[in-house]
Structure 1
Amino acid sequence: MSFIKRMYTNAVRLKLLWPSIGIAIILLFNALFTPGFFHIRLQDGHLFGSLIDILNRGTPILIISLGMTLVIAKEGIDISVGSVLAIAASMAAFLLQKQLPFAIALAAGLGIGVLCGLWNGWLVAKLKIQPMIATLILLTVGRGIAQLVSGGKIITISDPAYRFVGGGFWLGLPFAVIIAAFMFVVLFLITRKTAFGLFLESVGSNRISSEFAGIHSTRIMITVYVICGFCAALAGIIVSSNITGADSNNAGLWFELDAILAVVIGGTSMRGGRFYLGGTVLGALFIQTLTTTIYTLGVPSESVMVVKAVVIIFISLIQSDVLRYIIGGMIRKKSRKKVIANEAAA
């Protein structure tokens, strides 16, 4: 019992409990009502099945959410990640179409993401523009830049190395899943095994006090936006590789909303400070599991957003400490009344 209690305490402390319960409920629903949902088959050395699809399809949102976690921990926001994704994908596809080597196209796509992150970080940290407004600029302009690069058309990709990034397999798993796991490990080491994570939480909690303590808050703020831009660009490479084409009009649409939801569901507060990368991973998996379940049940596409909204609102409410305190108080009050009534009857 002590081991179970310790596991429960750690899950609550690390904000992993509620997203884990949400995923468990959806998986239980699928176990009861979706035949073959848990069936995984090995074909030509590759794993296939609904669970593998969840991991594979959820990779872009997961990678973006990891970068978004650091930005939100700084008490910021980045709503331009969908447009950055489209720019990076369009640039890489455009260079491949011009017969440039894969390495150059990949570096250019990721480099565009870094530059976009630098731009957002400069606006927020140096010019003191509100993060929502600063990133709104690139949200609108970025989509236009992506369309200019692609000429408003879908660029088809035939390079085998590029197609392997989002569509290949390694050790039986989709290569995109390996990339996402690698990004999580790298960011975890950077934020938990170096002073950067402590400085980030300090700046997110109280920027002025952090500066008095000698922390270079401007540098921290720019860094997290650069990381977020890089993550968005990497997600763009994976998305375009997976569909073997760059669609500047539709690539990355609403990704920023799913990424923010994944971070919040994972337990990171929009007010900044403490952040939980593990919780973000569970939040992203929850959103993708929910999406896959909805499509598996044959829910009309025009109703998907509504169903997702209802479920996510419910999960967000049960995560609220204030709501749980109110409900707990009501239960305790009712129990006291029952005890008083029993004593009076006795």
Structure 2
Amino acid sequence: MIRATLRRVAPQIFILGLVLLLNFLLSPGFFKVEMHQGRLFGNLIDVLNRGAPVALLSIGMTLVIATRGIDLSVGAVMAIAGAVAASVVTEGSHWLVAVFAALGAGALCGLWNGVLVAIFRIQPIVATLVLMVAGRGIAQLLTHGAILTFNDPGLVRLGGGTIFSVPTPIWLWIALALIVGIVVRRSALGLLIEATGINERSARLAGINARVLLVAVYLVAGLCAAIAGIVVAGDIRGADANNAGLWMELDAILAVVIGGNSLLGGRFSITASLLGALIIQSVNSAILLSGMPVEFNLVIKALIIIAILVIQSPRIKHSLYLLRASSGTQPPVERPSAPRRRSAGTERITEEGRT
């Protein structure tokens, strides 16, 4: 299984290696990691740490896209979760209560999206667009339109603290990826998600409760977004309803697509999506190290999306298949010839010959 996974993510590993090499050429000390005051510092650590929110979002987004859906509300859910956590902790409650309240808010948002998609049969892009638009308004109502700051050590540690000298957000996205990966790959849940994404109607006829599965998938996406919102709020020590998670839903979708997961649903790989998130953060780091304006991030991401969609198009895939077949690396599939129909006279002559 590990060997199959490595073959599956080999292109993403190669691309990540190239981008990291570009960062090294721009800054020869890019791979240097040092310890300072009990914390690891370095550009490579920053890539793993700053890419944590997108990595967390990509875990839930991978499952949603595998069911042939999309979730445009994860950025707004991040803002809601951060606002809930900041509001609860500033009222004097324990930071664990704030965390569970934020997770509950994220679960409710995911449940809302899941019900609209699975029960009311609304298109996922429209159903999640509703919460994308209204979510930031809800977050602003919770923070009264201001940046709500806090200094609670427990909540701050989730975004800016360390565990064994490694930043806490890195541990969070690795742990969540392992938990979700084990659940979907060590059980039949992953196959059920893929079957639903390939053909939901056939999955229902096969006995799969597709509605419950869709609700569960969007619920997980909401929880992942809530964790990302808690991390961002803990990092800046406040809840910024206007900017928290802004446009991060696009980064999450891009990470899933870079990971080679099809937007048409079906087979998926969480590991590949995480590599896609690291590639995005490595590209951001390369732009900053090169001294180019930050606005180039949007242009480069747009070019990456266009390139990947073109590569995944059926016409390009068919052309590559024909190219491999003509070069002899992959023999073309021979279609079985239709059996010849005999005439009545031919069949009579055959019977006379046998007698």
Scaled by the length of structure 1, the TM-score of the pair is: 0.89
SS of aligned partner of 1:47:
strand
Task: Say if 2:148 is the partner of 1:164.
Answer: no
Aligned partner of 2:16 in structure 1 is: 23
CA contact under 8 A between 1:60 and 1:239: conserved in structure 2?
yes
Task: Say if 2:85 is the partner of 1:85.
Answer: no
Aligned residue pairs total 327
Cα distance between partner residues in 2 of 1:284 and 1:27 = 13
What letter matches 2:47 in structure 1?
I
CA contact under 8 A between 1:124 and 1:134: conserved in structure 2?
yes
Cα distance between partner residues in 2 of 1:334 and 1:214 = 43
Aligned partner of 1:342 in structure 2 is: none
4+ runs deviating over 6 angstroms: 330-335
Aligned partner of 1:149 in structure 2 is: 142
Aligned partner of 1:132 in structure 2 is: 125
Q: Which of the residues 41, 46, 52 maps onto 2:45? A: 52
SS of aligned partner of 1:39:
coil
SS of aligned partner of 2:40:
strand
CA contact under 8 A between 1:64 and 1:231: conserved in structure 2?
yes
What letter matches 2:48 in structure 1?
L
Aligned partner of 2:333 in structure 1 is: none
* CA shift for structure 1 position 44: 2.1
Cα distance between partner residues in 2 of 1:122 and 1:194 = 24
The 1:332/1:153 distance shift into structure 2, 3 A limit, reads same
The 1:192/1:10 distance shift into structure 2, 3 A limit, reads closer
Cα distance between partner residues in 1 of 2:24 and 2:289 = 12
Aligned partner of 1:238 in structure 2 is: 231
CA contact under 8 A between 1:18 and 1:315: conserved in structure 2?
no
Q: Which of the residues 275, 279, 301 maps onto 2:268? A: 275
What letter matches 2:45 in structure 1?
I
Cα distance between partner residues in 1 of 2:39 and 2:236 = 18
What letter matches 1:217 in structure 2?
A
Aligned CA RMSD, in angstroms, stands at: 2.1
* CA shift for structure 1 position 176: 0.8
The structure with the larger Rg is 2
* CA shift for structure 1 position 329: 5.4
Cα distance between partner residues in 1 of 2:302 and 2:116 = 32
The 1:170/1:50 distance shift into structure 2, 3 A limit, reads same
Q: Which of the residues 194, 204, 207 maps onto 1:211? A: 204
The 1:175/1:274 distance shift into structure 2, 3 A limit, reads same
Q: Which runs of 5+ in 1 are unaligned?
A: 1-5, 336-346
Give matches, 1:1-346, under 5 Å. Answer: 11-12=6-7, 14=8, 16-314=9-307, 317=310, 322-323=315-316, 326=319
CA contact under 8 A between 2:184 and 2:190: conserved in structure 1?
yes
Cα distance between partner residues in 1 of 2:68 and 2:278 = 23
Q: Map Cα deviations across residues 172-197 of structure 1 (whole Å, 9 max, x no partner).
A: 21111111111001101110011211
Q: Map Cα deviations across residues 5-34 of structure 1 (whole Å, 9 max, x no partner).
A: x96x7544x2x1222221111111122222
* CA shift for structure 1 position 322: 4.7
Cα distance between partner residues in 1 of 2:314 and 2:50 = 32
Cα distance between partner residues in 1 of 2:82 and 2:14 = 35
CA contact under 8 A between 1:291 and 1:308: conserved in structure 2?
no
* CA shift for structure 1 position 316: 5.2
Cα distance between partner residues in 2 of 1:302 and 1:33 = 19
The 1:327/1:267 distance shift into structure 2, 3 A limit, reads closer
Cα distance between partner residues in 1 of 2:33 and 2:228 = 25
